[in-house]
């Protein structure tokens, strides 16, 4: 299970047993970059398989999740999502009411973010072959009309490596911003699945972020964005640090985490910064743009709790958190996912 959980074991598995067989593309953002999307001839392209358990949970379901996840993967690359495909694989015997619920939710989320489903596929497998339903969505997008001006503002401060918002664009001094509270999705789903009771106070954060991200790019100065899904904020920032060759220092008291998530994580012995999110973005921007980007995020409901949480620094070669007591600890990338089957 850990080989599909988004942490270090998954990175090793992909490198040794998947990417090693598929190298060689000449796309602008190739497969081996392991960014959230590829870019081929100026087209942003991504695909996602969703195996969430249960299919329906507080704040969402596998349908809304599949649309939001794919739309967000295109948006964080600096793309403007324009169309989705959807393949559904259904276990024989699944009640039709569940299918209708999921498809209605998928359609409503697609309409709400303005990205239509234009093609797809359906398969049914024998009872016991899969766990109820798997949804696979792919998406395409064009270059955001705001991306060039956004990068131009960043280049007034320093050199930017890529023409897209890739993981290796972070540099010394860049400001790190999150668009909202960490851990809501994973804890809400885990609590509902296992019956811990926290779901009475907490719902998943599932949301398409394309419009919020477009507003932030219009302000300009952003060098990279990522949605902290599997492995959460810890995995996201460690990928940036590793690929960019720069350390990141965070302020613990600045990272937004709800009391409910904190209490649940203390009870369960897990780190809220390693838990997946499905409606949040992590942004790195040049210092001069930080307050403008933060204000742009806060103009959207999805960014109401946005906060500046730290900065990139040459002082370290890893991700470090300054604790509320003034000490420092290393934020390690998760080996696996403490909450499996959440996306």
Report whether pLDDT(24) > 90: no
pTM of the entire structure?
A: 0.93
Using CA atoms, how far residue 36 sits from 100, 160, 185, in Å, is 29, 19, 19
- 321 close to 331: Cβ distance less than 8 angstroms: yes
- The pLDDT of 254-272, averaged and rounded, is 93
What pLDDT score was predicted for residue 340? 82
Measured distance CA(70)–CA(67) in Å, rounded: 6
Closest CA to 225 of 282, 143, 156: 282
SS3 69: helix
Q: Is the pLDDT of residue 5 over 70?
A: no
Asked whether the bond before 23 is cis by omega within 30 degrees of 0, the reply is no
Q: How far is CA 241 from CA 221, 244, 248, 312, in A?
A: 19, 5, 7, 8
pLDDT at 103 over 90: yes
Confidence of residue 7 (pLDDT cuts 50, 70, 90): low
For the chain, the structural domain boundaries read: 2-330
Encode pLDDT of 311-323 as tens digits: 999 999 999 999 9
When pLDDT is averaged across residues 255-259 and rounded to a whole number, the result is 96
pLDDT digits (tens, 9 = 90+) for 194-244: 888 766 678 999 999 999 999 999 999 999 999 999 899 999 999 999 999
Architecture of the structural domain at 2-330: Alpha-Beta Complex (3.90)
**pLDDT range class, residue 16, cuts 50, 70, 90:** confident
pLDDT digits (tens, 9 = 90+) for 39-92: 999 999 999 999 999 999 999 999 999 999 999 999 999 999 999 999 999 999
Q: Which residues contact 279 (CB under 8 A, 6 or more apart)?
A: 68, 72, 180, 184, 185, 204, 205, 206, 207, 209, 302
Q: Do β-strands 133-143 and 79-91 pair in parallel, antiparallel, or remain unpaired?
A: antiparallel
**Digit-coded pLDDT (tens) for 178-193:** 999 999 999 999 989 8
User: What confidence category does residue 310 fall into, taking pLDDT thresholds of 50, 70 and 90?
Assistant: very high
């Amino acid at each position: 299970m850990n080989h599909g959980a988004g942490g270090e074991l998954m990175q090793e598995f992909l490198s040794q047993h998947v990417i090693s067989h598929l190298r060689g593309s000449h796309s602008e953002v190739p497969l081996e970059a392991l960014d959230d999307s590829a870019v081929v001839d100026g087209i942003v392209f991504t695909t996602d398989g969703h195996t969430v358990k249960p299919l329906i949970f507080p704040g969402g379901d596998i349908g809304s999740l599949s649309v939001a996840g794919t739309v967000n993967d295109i948006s964080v690359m600096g793309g403007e999502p324009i169309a989705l495909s959807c393949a559904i694989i259904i276990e024989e015997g699944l009640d039709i009411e569940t299918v209708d619920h999921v498809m209605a939710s998928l359609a409503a989320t697609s309409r709400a973010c303005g990205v239509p489903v234009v093609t797809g596929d359906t398969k049914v497998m024998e009872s016991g072959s899969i766990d109820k339903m798997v949804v696979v969505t792919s998406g395409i997008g064009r270059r955001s009309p705001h991306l060039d001006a956004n990068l131009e503002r960043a280049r007034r401060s320093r050199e930017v490596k890529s023409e897209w918002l890739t993981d290796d664009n972070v540099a010394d001094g860049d400001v790190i911003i999150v668009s909202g509270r960490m851990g809501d999705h994973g804890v809400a789903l885990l609590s509902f699945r296992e019956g811990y009771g926290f779901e009475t106070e907490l719902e998943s954060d599932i949301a398409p972020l394309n419009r919020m991200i477009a507003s932030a790019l219009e302000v300009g100065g952003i060098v990279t964005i990522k949605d902290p899904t599997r492995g959460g904020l810890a995995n996201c920032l460690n990928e940036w640090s590793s690929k960019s060759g720069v350390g990141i220092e965070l302020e613990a008291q600045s990272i937004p985490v709800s009391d409910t998530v904190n209490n649940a994580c203390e009870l369960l012995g897990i780190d809220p910064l390693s838990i997946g999110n499905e409606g949040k973005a992590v942004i790195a921007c040049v210092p001069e743009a930080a307050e403008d980007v933060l204000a742009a995020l806060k103009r959207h409901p999805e960014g109401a709790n946005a906060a500046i949480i730290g900065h990139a620094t040459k002082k370290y070669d890893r991700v470090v958190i300054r604790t509320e007591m003034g000490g420092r600890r290393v934020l390690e990338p998760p080996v696996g996912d403490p909450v499996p089957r959440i996306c």
